[in-house]
Amino acid sequence: MKRALARRLGAVEGFRDPDPGLEQYATPTELAAQLIALADLHDDLAGRTVADLGAGTGMLGIAAATRNPHRVLAVERDPDAVAVGRANEPRVEPGVGVEWTVADATRPPLAAVDTVVMNPPFGAQDGAEHADRAFLAAASEVAAVSYSVHNAGSKAFVESFAGDRGGTVTHAFAAEFAVPAQFSFHTQDRAVLDVELFRVDWGRQS
């Protein structure tokens, strides 16, 4: 299912005018497929409510919507990115419609959800280290479990942050994140970042 999903996600188009301050990098198709396959395996997304925080192009939310969930709620602060995400849905035809909201995902306008999926900003820009912290805090407030992508070397931080909020990191994987040259400060055609993928159980019934 993972390879077939990654192929399907090849239809997703990237950000039209990516904003470096918002770290607008589309999640690579293989990584998105890995994250959603893992979520489906452990938490059976069928019939569940899934939220994609910082949904961007919709790569993760649309991928989740192929697993027959009850609802997929995509929260993204940039309306231009939401337009890209909406346009991507019919390219993938996920079966379940994604519900888009333009809002700050660190204060998500959501009631409880079963599963959060997210590839938040890492804080790669100066002074923004651990920008993912506020996204994890949001997941801790609304989700039973979350699946998230972080910079390599984040395991101790994510474990301690989750532990302080009653959560437990149950799975951790190393993965690669290919970033095409899309900003003026990029000096290579394509860079491959080492990232980590975590499942956090927030200690709440889904």
Ligand X SMILES: C[S@@+](CC[C@H](N)C(=O)[O-])C[C@H]1O[C@@H](n2cnc3c(N)ncnc32)[C@H](O)[C@@H]1O
Residues that bind ligand X (CB under 6 A): 22-27, 54-57, 59-60, 75-78, 81, 104-106, 119-121
Closest CA to 147 of 107, 179, 175: 175
Which helix H or strand E contains 11, and what residues bound it?
none
Shortest Å, Cβ 57 to ligand X: 3
Which is closer to ligand X, CB of 58 or CB of 167?
58
Shortest Å, Cβ 165 to ligand X: 19
Question: Whole-angstrom Cα distance, residue 198 to residue 159?
Answer: 9
Which is closer to ligand X, CB of 53 or CB of 162?
53
Which is closer to ligand X, CB of 85 or CB of 167?
85
Question: Whole-angstrom Cα distance, residue 188 to residue 175?
Answer: 20
Shortest Å, Cβ 146 to ligand X: 13
Neighbours of 84 (CB within 10 A): 23
Shortest Å, Cβ 124 to ligand X: 9
Contact 200, 139 (CB under 8 A): yes
